[in-house]
Amino acid sequence: MTFQSAMTTSIHNSRLRLLNALRSNAKPVMTFLGLPLFRMAQIVAQTGVDGIIIDCEHGHISDDAMHSATAAIAALGVSPLVRIRMTHGDLIKRALDAGAHGIVVPQVNTAEEARAVVSDAKFPPQGRRGQGSAFPAIAHGIDIPTYMKTANETLITCLQIETKTGVDNIDEICAVPGVDMIFIGPNDLALSLLGYVPARGDEPEFVEAIERIVAAGRTHKKWISRLSNDGASCKEHLKVFDTVAMSYDIRAIKNWYTAELRAARS
């Protein structure tokens, strides 16, 4: 089945900051939110990032906190994405019904899993997502009928590749219609390939895996993203990737206090 998706749509909504930046090749920068605080979501959304990935996989984020963060981020003109815990239709529905501008799905290893994610993220006839929430239209700045008409074409479906199996099947995964973005999880990828974390970055098997993922994404015209630990690595990664997620709210707070205390006590 072929259909319009976030990568091919001609629909424009000024509220969809991340999507608009990707389509214009503006190299947007995202970050991760792991703390379940409405105010933290507001603060991070005011820093200038284009998208914030609300981390329901590894972060301390409940369903209630995910709803609150999604609303807070979208209200400030930044795109909220939700990283769900696993490839499960109920979790995808909850994230999108909260108003997320897209989903990030971890540990996708096969084309079959990718097709299931797309189906759960799309309304019929492209998929099997049910309708019933008024919240996503609010986060998109439109009414419900307009959301229903445009959601399939404007929501970003992002799949994480972070295992050797995922790399082995990357070409088939990228060929799945409705997959918009591939996100490299470098730490879990290093664990799977090398047996340790973090990777040095120059291990041949690790470098080759990343190159294979990027090449498959380019072949099938998917956006490619990855985690970057800091601004310097983010700048380098953006020479290759369409967007990156720069660090994590939890890590940023810890690093700031560590550095400032070191300066205070020096």
pTM (2 decimals)?
0.96
Residue 74's closest CA among 103, 50, 104? Answer: 50
Active site members: 58
Per CATH, which fold does 17-264 belong to? TIM Barrel (3.20.20)
CA geometry: angle 140, 241, 93, nearest 5 deg:
35
Q: What is the pLDDT of residues 195-216, one digit of tens each?
A: 999 999 999 999 999 999 999 9
Q: What are the pLDDT digits (tens) for 32-91?
A: 999 999 999 999 999 999 999 999 999 999 999 999 999 999 999 999 999 999 999 999
pLDDT, one tens digit per residue, over 94-120 is 999 999 999 999 999 999 999 999 999
Report the pLDDT value the prediction gives residue 107, as an integer from 0 to 100.
95
- Considering only CA atoms, which of 194, 166, 146 is closest in space to residue 106? 166
Per-domain boundaries in the chain: 17-264
For residue 157, which amino acid is it? T
Contacts 24+ apart (CB under 8 A), 202-210: 209/164, 209/167, 210/184, 210/186
Strands 181-184 and 223-228: parallel
Confidence of residue 1 (pLDDT cuts 50, 70, 90): low
